Homo-oligomer: A and B are copies of this chain.
Amino acid sequence: MTETLTKPDLDTVAEVAAQLRVDSVRSSTSAGSGHPTSSMSAADVLAVLISRHLRYDWDNPDDARNDHLVFSKGHASPLVYSVFRAVGVVSEDELLNGYRRFGERLEGHPTPVLPWVDVATGSLGQGLPDGVGIALAGKYLDKLPYRVWVLCGDSELAEGSIWEALDKASHYKLSNLVAIIDVNRLGQRGETDLGWDTAAYARRAEAFGARVIRIDGHNLTAIDEALSEAEDDSDERPTVIIAKTVKGKGFSEVEDSPDWHGKPFPEDMAERAIKELGGTRDVRVRGPLPEGEASDGGARGQAGKVDLPQYEVGEKVATRKAYGQALAALGAANPAVVALDAEVSNSTYANEFAQEIPDRFFEMYIAEQQLVAAATGINVRGYTAFASTFAAFLTRAHDFIRMGAVSRADLRLVGSHAGIEIGADGPSQMALEDLAMMRSVHGSTVLYPSDATSTAALVERMAETRGISYLRTTRGAYPVLYGPDEDFSVGGSKTLREGSDVTLVGAGVTLHACLDAAEQLGKDGINARVIDCYSIKPIDEAALRSAADATGGKFVVVEDHHPEGGLGSAVVESLLSGGRTSLEVEHLAVRGMPGSGTGAELMAWAKIDADAIAEAARRLADRA
């Protein structure tokens, strides 16, 4: 049995560093893929960090006092897993036989299937923004002294999201955040934009408000001093350590070579590498434990009963406003609820929350990637974060939302100003792709209520929903349809009108148009069924199937969205999922490129208004 050393001296740390390199070589060669050279450049920094600075109880990864370690350069996964072996939580057997293999947890890029991984990385430029979220939680919510250590690659500093992250880190004075940049000069296909110009990186990080420390990333003493300096958080700035390193460091055949990115060494090379690195080792080290009493949570406390806002049937209320009011009510009842917005809170109505509960509201300014990443990081600490902006601008964060699913994060996203209904502002502000985007995210929930009552109820449901959930809200005010006692559930729907000739399916603004169309059709003797399909994913398959039976498979599906991937797709895919089905579907959606106008003018132009729905229903009813 191997002894575990706690806070060893630098000679031992050098042994740890060599072991991390050897294990990075062994694991990637065993798997036949992976990034050994990108791991070797950062091995010295990680050896010092895990041995002498990271305060982490490896046996209790859920301890709230633990520091957080995020590998923003997720492709250095051989290093991640070699670290986990060095601290004694992953075995040599798993490292050599599990890495990148089917059904195993040591995936090609780290994900939270491992208890020591907070967020999935591998799409570059995301780990640091996520780390900002964790640090926000530490400083403002948990109010615990843990640190967030993020290892970044140099290539990923070309991603704008890194600068959004540093901007917010300095704005929020996140002295508990330490970014370590592994400047090994080489990206996937040659030299990076800035190469070894660590002075240029330093100027940029300083200009964005960070305390910058430049070091030789292979000098253990310098690393140790830099990490100690980073632990002094008296000056209220995030720290950026710029470590000049050599890719493939420790194996002379590949050091600083542009030809060895993302390639495991063949067996014979691996043997030579291990030999040059002094052979395999079996060192166990751990850094200091967190101070104070063990804890499983921050300052969250108990949730009380939610006193949702109530609305009178018939009064006109915008669903975006109901969102804000419900969120404020939720926040008042539940100290775990947090809200974020991207400088449009007076449009999304997240300001209703911000005004009531300013200490749990985070202004992310116009930086939608960081908005979603901050929510992801805050969720790491168990908070229930809602993030809002215009629905159109959530497309800016698509990669972060996708990765949020890989991170197994519970994200509640809210997009206002959906569709052409917004009118005069024109197409740049109109979300016409958001339902397709959000439906395609793994395990997502997509909600699109039509009135204030259902919006408020669904906001409460979202707080309980795991995975990525999305609420689409409308700019304009429309009549409240439901009384306060009506129930709404994820996967539900409401059949607002029974009918036998044709089914009209709407959601959001188009539901109101469906109801108007049904009135028109009634006068013509056409009996239209109307479904409020407020839950687009999961969708109420049973209700749709009943409707198909009742109306001979005749449907008009109407959406304020492009024709692809939205409500229409959800309805027909659901109806076809249960075996042979005979359908006659009129799918009304926004097929042209809109300009400006009033919402009503544009809905008439796109043929998604009541007249167009009635006309489509008549076409269906007239056929046999």
Contacts and interface: CB of A to CB of B under 8 A. Distances in A.
Interface of A: 31-34, 74, 100-109, 111, 113, 120-125, 155-156, 158-164, 167, 171, 187-189, 192-193, 200, 203-204, 206-209, 343-347, 351, 365-370, 392-393, 395-396, 398-399, 402-403, 405-406, 424-429, 432-433, 436-437, 439-443, 537, 553, 562-566, 568-570, 572-573, 576-577, 579-585, 587, 593, 595-598, 601-602, 605, 623
A577 to B, nearest CB: 7
Contact of A437 (B111, B200, B437): B437
A143 to B, nearest CB: 24
A440 B160 contact: no
A583 B490 CA distance: 28
A162 to B, nearest CB: 7
A188 B583 CA distance: 47
Contacts of A441: 433, 562
Nearest to A598: B102
Contact of A159 (B108, B206, B367): B367
A433 B402 contact: yes
Contact of A579 (B106, B396, B442, B584): B584
Given A406-B428, A440-B564, A562-B442, A193 B572 contact: no
B568 A573 contact: yes
Nearest to A554: B580
Given A346-B188, A623-B580, A440 B121 contact: no
B108 A158 contact: no
A465 to B, nearest CB: 17
Given A107-B427, A123-B429, A442-B562, 5 more contacts: A106-B596, A159-B396, A187-B366, A537-B564, A564-B573
A563 B573 contact: yes
Nearest to A429: B122
Contact of A393 (B123, B351, B425): B123
B189 A351 contact: yes
18 contacts: A102-B605, A104-B595, A106-B596, A108-B428, A120-B428, A121-B428, A124-B366, A125-B366, A159-B366, A160-B160, A393-B399, A396-B399, A433-B441, A442-B562, A443-B593, A573-B587, A580-B582, A582-B583
A440 B573 CA distance: 16
B426 A111 contact: yes
B595 A107 contact: yes
Contacts of A106: 596
A419 to B, nearest CB: 13
Interface centre among A427, A537, A579 (most CB of B within 10 A): A427
In the A-B complex, the 9 residue pairs with the smallest Cβ-Cβ separation, listed nearest first, are A160-B160, A122-B428, A102-B597, A565-B565, A108-B426, A436-B440, A203-B207, A398-B398, A158-B365
